[in-house]
Structure 1
């Protein structure tokens, strides 16, 4: 019996091998544009099952790549055992301590729904279906990051399986280097089976999207810049240039405000002085409803992205963004950062001092379109004031960890990797070794 077939006796969870019914579906990441020719797919039953899998892989000289669903897949999982953690789905809320414990397979939307019942919130991003663990392991840009910093800043402990297949509880006190690396430095060092993180009060929330025809983009851009120039940390505003297939180009502003409606309306008043919008979904909402603002797809689909951090958004940069249609891109998003993002952070990313993030997205329907999308992304990036640094969770398959971390942080991450996983059992989407 070969080593892959012995997987079935090593773990209690589902094991799928090439040729098995359902294998091709199970190995695919959420981004269908990324190929993953893995050797096997294992859906772990629990943390003990993860430990058994790691011991089996280590003894067989095999790598393990962990993906709850594969939002950040890069194609570097080829030849590994792909570990799915969807069944590690517990959510425990300690409302008095403002703390949550979530399994590695828990999506952001589930944590938000559980926390909302107590008037609390985690630090969710734009999509409710990405895993809390995956976002935290990559640092994490949240709707509420201007008020509370990186998602990783909120993590207080990890339950992991190390490269020898041992279950461990990791904190800043028990293993400061590993704790530091896991808070934003990727999953290259251990398998996270659960994490504990601080929650924040959210008794009131106002948010939504205002959408206009593209002809109003210059005025919307001016209003966006005016709002973000004076925004308090409780307010987050994103600008979106949109061009969906079969529709006319549009421009949108997405916003959330941790506070009351009247204050939010005052802060967003420049939007109300613009032309009449196509739609306006702004309202008082629960923190569990955040995913509806941008309404990103919740099912697997192909995509080609590129992200940059902008050192500013002056008149020249604004003019460049609006100079030409965004096609063949579907969206060009500018996220306002600043606030708590720029404060000291004991994470591999450290403080995020750039005031805006740029996210460029298109669908590579065929090789010719993929080339055109990449060329448009490259042209925009090269014509804007970018810092050259990128958020880890926004890296694309052509990029590496060196694009996200500075030299000192990268060297420290590599030292942690060598100490905790010298045989390279764990294969992150973007390995710190390159």
Structure 2
């Protein structure tokens, strides 16, 4: 008999064990290129159920890996119970105080839809289906990061279950070391059941994607550099080199502006002097519609990513981006950073001084394609003046926290881990002990 059968009586939520119908599907992460082996999958009913699970796991000597959906999965889950937190879906909005209480299973798009009618916004990234909690635990880069900093900078409190199975409310005043570590250091310290976040004013928003044939890429890149050289913090502009299967190569500029359309059009005017685009989706929009800009997939798939940070975008670097075909990658994205991200931040990442993030993505449909994608990513990174540092939420499964943080920060995170989870009950996607 499987000793983990006792799990079914220890928790009220759903439990799947190896051999159960649906187990293989339940254990799979969002990125199907990651093989995720676990001894059980638990869909917790609520925070008390999570506390019961932690107490059971601790007594059984089994670790717990937490994933709402598994967007950041790395495969470091062997021998653990996979905890799904999707049913923790509480969402309470206080528009007067500009605060939101967000359950661990709430997706970014749902928060945005709830706050949009009040002229407010959270700090959403490019995908509406990732969890608010998962992004915040990794620091989080948002469309509005230039105006408001890391996603984690807007977190004011965490409700957690600790390694002893106790429910706790974590704030900067009550538990400063744990609060610091969880605002960007990952999920290695406790299970988050909910968090409190500050909302930001967004009475007006203009944005969208402009798309050209790749033959115009050099002119688009130069226009992009002119726009970003003087962009206010309310404006964020991304550049995308694209080559989708069955389509010709293309180049796109994605933009959001926290303000009115007239000012936005003036700031983006260099785009209007370029050759006629294939499409121009710029418009007045609500913060609930941000996911439509890049239209990232909302269903799981197998992919390989690599990110780098660039201290500068020189003439040589710009030419390097265009020197070789995008394929076998699907996309090469250059994200404008700077603004508030470069300012003070009492979080593991601290100030993000590099003004550019490079994100390279390709499909891993078979071993040969996966190798070709990784080789192309490596070659491009090696040809650019990268800083060697990466944002936590952009790490790929081959990387560790040492690729995101300075050595002294890693040491501090490990000290927090030893203090709050000395028996390593929790195993994050990127454990701080690795």
What is the DSSP-based 3-state SS (H/G/I as helix, E as strand, rest coil) of the residue aligned with 1:4?
A: helix
1:156 aligned residue? 156
1:136 aligned residue? 136
In 2, distance between residues paired with 1:114 and 1:4?
39
How big is the alpha-carbon RMSD for the aligned residues of Structure 1 and Structure 2? 0.5
Alignment of 1:302-313 (within 5 A): 302-313=302-313
In 2, distance between residues paired with 1:289 and 1:2?
47
In 2, distance between residues paired with 1:274 and 1:3?
66
In 1, distance between residues paired with 2:98 and 2:343?
22
**1:239 touches 1:253 (CA, 8 Å); kept in 2?**
yes
1:293 aligned residue? 293
1:193 partnered with 2:193: yes
1:367 aligned residue? 367
In 2, distance between residues paired with 1:78 and 1:295?
33
What is the DSSP-based 3-state SS (H/G/I as helix, E as strand, rest coil) of the residue aligned with 1:87?
A: coil
2:247 aligned residue? 247
In 2, distance between residues paired with 1:117 and 1:265?
24
1:60 partnered with 2:66: no
What is the DSSP-based 3-state SS (H/G/I as helix, E as strand, rest coil) of the residue aligned with 2:251?
A: strand
1:116 partnered with 2:138: no
**How far does residue 365 in structure 1 lie from its aligned partner after superposition?**
1.0
1:13 aligned residue? 13
2:380 aligned residue? 380
**How far does residue 226 in structure 1 lie from its aligned partner after superposition?**
0.5
**How far does residue 2 in structure 1 lie from its aligned partner after superposition?**
4.0
Deviant stretches of 4+, over 3 Å? none
Give a deviation string over 1:184-226, Cα, whole Å, max 9, x none.
Answer: 0000000000000000010000000000000000000001111
2:346 aligned residue? 346
Range with bigger deviation, 363-372 or 130-139: 363-372
What is the DSSP-based 3-state SS (H/G/I as helix, E as strand, rest coil) of the residue aligned with 1:359?
A: strand
1:422 partnered with 2:422: yes
Give a deviation string over 1:300-359, Cα, whole Å, max 9, x none.
Answer: 011000000011111000000001101100000000000000001000000000010000
In 1, distance between residues paired with 2:99 and 2:413?
27
Give a deviation string over 1:237-287, Cα, whole Å, max 9, x none.
Answer: 000000000000000000000000000000000001000000000000000
Alignment of 1:204-219 (within 5 A): 204-219=204-219
2:328 aligned residue? 328
In 1, distance between residues paired with 2:5 and 2:20?
12
In 2, distance between residues paired with 1:351 and 1:125?
18
Give a deviation string over 1:80-136, Cα, whole Å, max 9, x none.
Answer: 100000000011001111000000000000000011121100000000000000000
Question: What are structure 2's unaligned runs of at least 5 residues?
Answer: none
In 2, distance between residues paired with 1:263 and 1:2?
64
In 2, distance between residues paired with 1:10 and 1:53?
7
**1:3 touches 1:60 (CA, 8 Å); kept in 2?**
no
In 2, distance between residues paired with 1:204 and 1:345?
27
1:390 partnered with 2:390: yes
What is the DSSP-based 3-state SS (H/G/I as helix, E as strand, rest coil) of the residue aligned with 1:127?
A: coil
Q: TM-score scaled by structure 1?
A: 1.00
**How far does residue 289 in structure 1 lie from its aligned partner after superposition?**
0.2
1:409 aligned residue? 409
1:89 aligned residue? 89
Give a deviation string over 1:38-60, Cα, whole Å, max 9, x none.
Answer: 10000000000000000000000
2:22 aligned residue? 22
In 1, distance between residues paired with 2:274 and 2:77?
48
